[in-house]
């Protein structure tokens, strides 16, 4: 069965949410590494990451609005992906520990996205 234009836009919206979150995380990680090393390479990684992040955010908002997701919802979902990926980086690579309450906050944010979806 062929994919309809409506389904394609919805799939593109979710792709942009996850890709944008990943690109934002890349920018965040790059700027943190630049702050530690003052390496031009990390500054460039963060600048490109942020530019791509903002572009994907704009596209996600455009496709999201066409599918009934307001700006707030699209932004929150994209930032949630961003925060989760940065937290994974911090814990696995940087060795940062996440407190119980911070972990609960991440779980509540994920639950909020499900609530947004159910309320749509």
Residue 9 has a pLDDT of 66
Residue 32 has a pLDDT of 92
User: For the segment 74-95, what is each residue's pLDDT rounded down to a tens digit?
Assistant: 888 888 889 889 989 999 998 8
Domain boundaries, the chain: 5-118
pTM, to two decimals: 0.79
Burial of 100 (0-12, 13-18, 19+ CB in 10 A): exposed
CA nearest neighbour of 27 among 74, 83, 100: 83
Burial of 35 (0-12, 13-18, 19+ CB in 10 A): exposed
Who contacts 117 (Cβ-Cβ below 8 Å, separation ≥6)?
A: none
Instruction: Please give the Cα distance from 111 to 77 (Å, whole number).
Output: 11
């Amino acid at each position: 069965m062929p994919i309809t234009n409506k389904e394609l836009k919805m799939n593109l919206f979710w792709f942009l949410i996850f890709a944008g979150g990943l690109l934002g995380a890349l920018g965040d990680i790059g700027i943190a590494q630049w702050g530690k090393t003052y390496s031009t390479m990390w500054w460039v990684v963060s600048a490109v990451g942020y530019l791509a992040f903002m572009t994907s955010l704009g596209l996600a908002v455009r496709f999201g609005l066409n599918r009934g997701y307001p700006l707030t919802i699209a932004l929150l979902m994209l930032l949630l992906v961003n925060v989760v990926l940065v937290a994974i980086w911090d814990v696995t690579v940087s060795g940062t520990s996440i407190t119980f309450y911070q972990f609960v906050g991440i779980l509540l944010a994920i639950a909020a996205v499900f609530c947004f979806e159910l309320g749509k």
